Homo-oligomer: A and B are copies of this chain.
Amino acid sequence: MTSEEIHASIYAMGQQARSAAHALAKLSATQKSDILRAMAQSLRDSSEEILEANAKDIAAGEAKGLNGALLDRLRLDAKRVNDIAGGIDQVADLPDPVGEKLGHTDCPNGIQISKIRVPIGVIGIIFESRPNVTSDAAVLCLKSGNATILRGGSEAIHSNKAIAKALQSGGEPAGLPAGAVQLIPFTDRESVKVMAGMDKYLDLIIPRGGKGLIETVVSLARMPVIKHYDGICHAYVDKAADLDLAVAIIDDAKTQKPSVCNALETALIHKEVAAEFLPKLAERLNKRGVEIRGDERVLEILPSAKAACEEDWSTEYLDLIISIKVVDSLEDAINHINHYSSQHSEVIITRDQAAADIFQTSIDSACLFHNVSTRFADGEEFGFGAEIGISTDKLHARGPMGLKELCSYQYRINGEGQIKDSKRQENV
């Protein structure tokens, strides 16, 4: 396709999505739930076509020499398709976020102002190889009254197209507005650039994927972008920590699922407890096969650990590796975290409530835990029902991003003819 064709094609989708968004904003909660259930059923009914399409992606991936982890992310089977459909039914059952009154003001002049939650409009989702995102993202956007334009990676293009087709063909007879869920049917790199410039039709872009993708979108986008960057999460073991509890939390946060963004990367240990605590921690982490990279003071206590270099403090390992540093004080821990953190999630382990309060009011991160594993930084755990990701941004949505965070608001103001300057009109 030429640049002009890509541009024309995506702008036509944008225009359709904008019309669909106006129609979607008027659907009732029940209408949206009915559409979602029809989409889930259609996905189940289309399982065979979806798996055939997926087989093409897998074959192409193998031919291209994709590694095992990537192929795993790409692969669907009947259970997986059924799980995706089950996820849609769960979203259908969630409370509708749209239309809720968020505030009300009775003005002295008799004007009544209501602040109402409304959809954002059209959301662009740019994602990489997981085909389930096609459904997950479209469905969360739809529940919150938004139209979506999805742009998936080339590795999953056949699977994505089959899933999008099933969602559309199931949803439309149930009342899904045409253009409400659209997948860009080609994967030219140019399409990301066109989406990023299309602020007329896209109110928000959410890039889901690696740093390179996010960086490209951030540098090109004319509209808001909500980033889900890495999680360089920290644990601080205070001098007043319950040391067994600290071992348990660090073990859980580091090793229970190391590949996710709310897993731990760095532990900071107060100097007064380091000599007692570090051997206990090392013993546990050794059993889990975790490599320890420590600063000088850690190495004095744990001579078998590797030496950490400057780069370690800002690395998201997503692996069985942890960087550990001994700090002189709570304040030093706070300064280290404010300097190196990706502002995702941090935990203090202490029995000292005053220390916990200082930690929680001094660090500029989305989630600040006290005596709880960072693995709880998650929309499901927070009771959001579902999440589209965990925002490391500070504007609009911070931390776990659920249905409410996929909405905007609007003021509706009612009166009986109030004007700003009635004197001016007395003797016109």
A interface, CB within 8 angstroms of B:
21-22, 25-26, 105, 107, 111, 113, 118, 120-121, 199, 203-204, 218-219, 222, 224-226, 242, 245, 248-249, 251-253, 256-257, 284, 287-288, 338, 356, 360-362, 364-373, 375-377, 381-383, 393-396, 398-399, 408-421, 424-425, 428
Alpha-carbon distance A417/B367, docked complex (angstroms): 16
Residue of B222, B369, B420, B428 near A219 (CB, 8 A) is B222
Q: Is the interface of A mostly helix, strand, loop or mixed?
A: mixed
Assuming the contacts A252-B419, A252-B421, asked whether A410 and B396 have C-beta atoms less than 8 A apart, the reply is no
Asked if A368 contacts B248 (CB within 8 A), the reply is: no
9 A-B pairs within 8 Å (CB atoms) are namely A120-B395, A121-B394, A224-B224, A256-B419, A366-B410, A369-B415, A372-B418, A395-B396, A399-B411
Asked if A360 contacts B252 (CB within 8 A), the reply is: no
Asked if A284 contacts B428 (CB within 8 A), the reply is: yes
Asked if A394 contacts B252 (CB within 8 A), the reply is: no
Q: With a CB–CB cut-off of 8 A, which chain B residues contact A361?
A: 25-26
In the complex, how many angstroms separate the beta carbon of A404 from the nearest chain B beta carbon?
A: 10
In the complex, how many angstroms separate the beta carbon of A256 from the nearest chain B beta carbon?
A: 5
Asked if A428 contacts B242 (CB within 8 A), the reply is: no
Q: With a CB–CB cut-off of 8 A, which chain B residues contact A416?
A: 371
Alpha-carbon distance A226/B199, docked complex (angstroms): 14
Q: With a CB–CB cut-off of 8 A, which chain B residues contact A418?
A: 371-373, 376
Assuming the contacts A203-B394, A218-B222, A222-B218, asked whether A375 and B419 have C-beta atoms less than 8 A apart, the reply is yes
Asked if A121 contacts B362 (CB within 8 A), the reply is: no
Alpha-carbon distance A251/B219, docked complex (angstroms): 45
